Each structure stands twice: as C-alpha cells, then as structure tokens.
Chains A and B, each alone.
Chain A
Amino acid sequence: MNTSRKSFLTGFLFASPWIIGFLVLGLFPFVMSFYYSMTDYDLFQPPKWVGLDNYIAIFQDENFYKSLKNTLFMAFIAVPINLIACLLVALMLNMKVKGIAIFRTVFYLPSVIPAVAGAMLWSWILNPQYGLLNIILRALGLPDPSWLTDPAFTKPSLILMGFWGAGAGALIFLAALQGVPRMFHEAAEIDGANAWDRFRHITLPALSPVTLFQLIMGLIGAFQIFTESFILMGGSNGGPDQSMLFYAVNVYQEAFSFLHMGYASALAWVLFVIVVLITIVIFKTSMRWVYYGGE
C-alpha cells in the first residue's frame, strides 16, 4: 500500500465519526426535508405528494410575512444596535486601569445565565405595574410602556435584554482591540491625530474582520430566536398581535402545534435560501469595508 493511500485511510478513519454523523444526521435529513416540503405529512398518515403547493401557500400566508418581518427587524435593526453596544462595552473594558479584570467578569456574567432563567427574570423586570424598570421610569417621570403586552414594545424589550448579554460579544471585540499594535496609535498621535481620528482610522479598520464575524453570527442567531419568545409569551403563539412570531417560532408552531410537517419543511427551506442569500451578500459587500492586516 503506498503512503498517500495509507494516509487517506488514516485521515478518513480519524474523521469518520463526523463523516458518519454528517451522512446520517446531516445529509440524509437535509435531502428528506426537501422531499417532505413537497408533501402533506402529519406524522401519522404516510406523506402525500403535493408538488409545489406548500411553497405556493407560503407566499399567501400572512403568518409567513409577519414572522419574516419580525425576524428581519431583529436581524437588521436589533443586531447592529447590539453590536454597537458590544463595541462600547469593549472600549470601556479596554481602558488601562487597575482591577479591570473584575469589571470584565462583571460585564460577562449575564451571558452565563440560562436563556430560560434569564427570560423569566426579564418578564418580571418588565412587568408593567410592579416591574423594576417601569418603577424606575415612573420615578424619573418618563413614560412606562407595557413592555411585553404592547405589540410596539415587545421587540424593543428583546433589544433591551440583548444589551444585558452584550458582555459576550464585547469580549470578542476586546480580544481584537488588544491585537491592535500600540505603535500605530503612537505614530498617529505624533502626527497630531486626535482620539476620534485614531478610533476612526486605526481602531475601526482593525476591528472590521471581527465585526464581520460577529455580524454574521448575530444574523444567524436572529433567524433562530425561539426560547425568549416561547418563555416570554408562554408558548409558540407569537404574543400580542403576533409581534413576537419569529421565523423559528412559526416553523415550530406549524410543525409541532399543527403537525403540518410538509408545510413547515417548506418554510425551513425558504429560510435556508434566505440565510444563504444574506450571507453571500454580506461576504460580497464586506470586501469594501473589511480590512485584513498583512494582506
């Protein structure tokens, strides 16, 4: 047996756990899902072929548009807002003062709370009458919205909850911030650049690769929002005026509340196409704003 053949076998053998898993729990369900999306299937009767009917029905389904609109709001408004918050926290945590490690721990701490427990805590903090937030707002003479029951305020509630978890994203920014060579800043300072110029022309470009990474992870996360809506709204109903009906919640509801397995599979495939398209667009446009050092 020659060496390249031997190393192929060894490599393949080492990778085989993942390869088997990919075939059985990846590729097979992936292909089956496409088949199911062309059928009417309730788990009990055998699947009935309906061709493209499910896909046609999606584009006439009000819930589809509602869930897509809610999800896109989270992806393109909530995620960028959250990234800015993460960056601000990272800049704070990058200050050179004694005891900064303690502050890093404090800001990261909320990120280790289980989503279910965190959502329970926030549904109490956001209680319109007795919740801490509205008590503070009233004390300051500010309006006190019914956060979780007013359809206009449910998604802002999620943005608020997202701020609390900004520590995790901030630490990723922080690691990148610390990778910016000091001499760049020193050289710019000698040349008379002020703090804002240095931030704008040195820090931001240096952070662009990690921003791209966080943006993509954030977008993917936005398309998976489920637990918060489920806990805060007490199920997959989508909350007041379905303002918390997100794409993943809608897929879950169609599949497991209504047992529309075929239709839900078609929804999942539309989601897949949307996510791939968004990822491609971001990668393509990223060439204009992402700067890789040393290339």
Chain B
Amino acid sequence: MIPQPTSSVSGAYRAGREIVLDVRNLRIHYETPRGDVIAVNGISFQVYKGEIVGLVGESGCGKTTAAMGILQLVPSPGRILSGEILINGRNMLGLTEAELRERRWRELSLIPQGAMNSLNPVMRVRDQIGDAILTHEGAIPKDKLKARILELFSLVGLPPRVYDLYPHELSGGMKQRVCIAMAIVLNPPVIIADEPTSALDVVVQRVVAQTLLDVKERLGVSMIMIGHDMGLQAQMVDRVIVMYAGNIVEVTPVMPAFHNPLHPYTQLLIASIPSIKERKPLKITTGLTHDLRNPPPGCSFQLRCPHVMDICKRVPPAMIEREPDHWVACYLYGKEEQQG
C-alpha cells in the first residue's frame, strides 16, 4: 500500500518559489588512513519558502552527513571540502567561529534524531530553551522569558507544567515536542529535522508529525526532513530528494515519487516499502554498494542497477528535468552527460 499524500500538503510547494536554502556543490569527505570516504559527493539542491523537503535513502547514503554538513556539525573525521550553503542568499560556510555562532539557531535550527538524549539531563526544560533565547537576544526579564516559552508550549501542545521539569520526567513524545519548541523559538527560516519521529511508537509518531505540520503551517518555516520511513514522508513532505551513495539521484514532488518514480534506485526503494496488505519479497538486496573510497567511474548506482548500460560505467549522468519539477540523474531518460 502506498500512503496517499494529503492534498493540502502536495499543493503547497507551488505556492512560493522563493528560495530560502540553496545548497551548492556540497562535498563532504570522511578522512581515513586508507583514503577519503566520499560521503557527500558535491550535491546541490534548493529548499523553497514554506515547504518540507524529504531527504531519503538507505543507511549510509549520506543523508544525515549532508544535513550535519548544512549545520556545519559534521563529526570528526568528516570535513566539508567545498560548497556553498546560502540561507536567504547569505553563505553560511567560511564564517568565523563567532559569526557562525551568531547565525546558528537564528537562521537554521535542528530537531534532532530521537529526542531521548537530545536534552541535557541535568538542566530544566526552561533553562535549555531559555539558553537559546538568552544567547542570541541577550538578557530578558524573567516573566517575559517565561511567557514566551509558555506560548511556544501551547503551540506544540505541551502543558505549562513542563516548564519546570527535567528531561527524564517527560515521555518520549513530550521530549520531542520540547525539541520542536526549542527549534522554533527564534523563528528561523529553515529547520532540519533528522528523523524526528524515529524513536517513537506509531501513535506518538503521528501526533508529533501533526505537530510539525501545524508548526510549519503557522510559521511558514521551511524544513528538511531526513528519514527512511517512506510512509511518513508521503504524509508530510512536499518534495522528495533521493540520495544514493553520496549523490542525489532524483528530486521530485511527493506524488510522483510514489506513483511514478523514475530512477531505478527510487523504484527499488518504493517497491521495498513493506505493505500491510500483502507479503512480498524484498527487492533491494541485490548487489552491493561500491566502496565509498573508490567510486567507479560513471553512475554511482551501476553495480546494483537492473538497467545498467555501457555509458553508465563511463560517465556520471547529469540531472535532467524529465517532467516539471521532477529531476532525475539517469541515462534511461536521455543521454546528457555531466559536465566536469
């Protein structure tokens, strides 16, 4: 069964075409003694105002590394080699430490993966949210600060008593909502949500997902949502970016991603979504991903692709717009070769 995206969501991406986040040629390597692991291979994409973009792909495809790269929090030995990260036209890369610190959270915030360990266990919720406000806006009278945090709570559906609690006194869903409240406290234009519901049970997942959608609607914020839960992606996102082995292979509005996936990898990915109506064999297991240290020349998916051709093994394919807003990097849809 393929979940049906709700109509209000699928139409939203056309509303504004104002680019909020523009990632250009982002390249991230993990440096190892036996050569660089190419985790993110010079990817480019845009996020428009008020939309949710889903970043999907299997484990190790570089989606989390790409998101951490945008936040400039790639764990060592990872390193951003090149690229530009423009938020409202201003590059976030190459800033000094102080400038970067100044702009963090104001312009780009994070809803972390699994809120279980994302909150400092020895600080009250109020102090952790207050931290972000006080750091970026200077001293604020205590009652004003409290009023502001309580307003956030009502926005994400948290009871006021959470204000004085410690993280261990909250349930998983409440912790995740605290994280959502924290992410929107400075009203940033872009939020990165790294598998925001992955550690929750399905019911709580839905509630948190709904909270995210409400927040997005109210604040008009743009989000990048990382995840491999395709059902959730179908429910929430406007566009889908599919990554494979550090490359973007397909960028598509959410409906065609499920009904008309173009790239052979996306097709396999969609076909492997477990159905609750029938049991079907897993298709995605054939072949192995190449060693990320030594990518073969040509298309990154050639070793696992069922439709592999001669040209795939020589030159990497370029992104082509096959249908309006539906981009794919595959020779099945034309012979354009990537430049450089």
B is a partner of A: no
Interface on A for B, CB 8 Å cutoff? none
Interface on B for A, CB 8 Å cutoff? none
